[in-house]
Amino acid sequence: MTTAIYPGSFDPITLGHLNIIKRAVQVFDRVVVCVMVNSGKYTPLFTIQERVELIRRVVERFPNVAVDCSHDLLAEYAKKYEKPVVVKGLRAITDFESEFQMALINKKLNEELETLFMAASEKYTYLSSTIVKELGKYGADLSEFIPREILDEVQTRTRQRS
């Protein structure tokens, strides 16, 4: 069984993230969406456990998708799986530069770990969790940016933080 790990902070999960998940489930037997701690990011909108629960609601329609979280390095977390593949979505060339560097570091730390880059769908190349949070802070309609299953929670939380 080929397992793909789709890591990220997912704070919150966006339609761009969901698009990568939908495409990954067509390629891999199993996809694990793993909420990772990003020490370089500011105070998150949602706790790790809240993000896991929000993602579970969004992906429950996919029988071969699991949701997990980890405080470990990705290369270490991936050792749980036999010949895992990391899936990363790329929106722009700037994403490639940093993600390519991370793929090389992960491979150095775990030589069995491969990385597959998926180009973002054209309609999501501008979309990020950071943009969603900023728009929500100002009361913008987020329905075109995040999955409908979590729309109310995200809009409520972003407005509370403004």
Using one digit for the tens of pLDDT, what is the confidence trace for 27-64?
A: 999 999 999 987 766 789 999 999 999 999 999 999 99
Count other C-beta atoms under 10 Å from residue 60's C-beta.
11
Of the residues 17, 51, 88, 133, only one is catalytic, namely: 17
Active site residue 17: yes
Using one digit for the tens of pLDDT, what is the confidence trace for 104-136?
A: 999 999 999 999 999 999 999 999 999 999 999
Active site residue 91: yes
Of the residues 51, 70, 88, 129, only one is catalytic, namely: 129
Q: What does the pLDDT read at residue 41?
A: 63
Domains, the chain, with CATH or none: 3-122 (3.40.50.620)
Phi-psi region of 101 (alpha: psi -120 to 50; beta: other; left: phi over 0): alpha
Q: What does the pLDDT read at residue 140?
A: 94
Active site residue 98: no
Q: What does the pLDDT read at residue 77?
A: 97
Strand partners, 87: 116
Give the pLDDT mean for 73-99: 92
Active site residue 41: yes
Alpha carbon dihedral 46, 131, 102, 89, in 10-degree steps, equals 100
Quick one: tokens of 105? 């570091």
b (16+ CB within 10 A) / e for 73-103: ebbebbeebeebbbbbbbbeeebeeebeebb
Of the residues 22, 23, 91, 137, only one is catalytic, namely: 91
Do 144 and 14 contact (CB within 8 A), yes or no? no
Mean pLDDT of the chain: 93
Rounded distance between C-alpha atoms, residue 120 and residue 96, angstroms: 11
